[in-house]
Homo-oligomer: A and B are copies of this chain.
């Protein structure tokens, strides 16, 4: 349960689902049409996304409307944080290098 964030994102179809939900809420049927994937497959991916917190879902008559929740994505963002220093520092070093070249 509650699979690891990166494991969830490792599935290309799930990333495509997120890409669509990023633009707004979608019903399962919408996603099925857009993605060209079988309905059971989409439902299973949505379950994984739901149980890992990437999406929430509300019921509207016979439909289930899915909406993105950014918290797991912010977790990824947070994980990246220490690494980000790595390339900003490289940029700093590059700047210093260029500065020294100018003189």
A interface residue numbers (CB < 8 A to B) = 4, 6-7, 9-10, 12, 15, 18, 22, 68, 70, 73-74, 76-77, 80, 82-84, 86-87, 90
Contacts and interface: CB of A to CB of B under 8 A. Distances in A.
Contact of A73 (B7, B70, B74, B83): B83
Contact of A6 (B6, B80, B84): B6
B15 A86 contact: no
Copies in the complex: 2
Interface majority SS (helix, strand, loop, mixed), chain A: helix
B82 A70 contact: no
A87 B90 CA distance: 28
Contact of A70 (B9, B15, B68, B90): B90
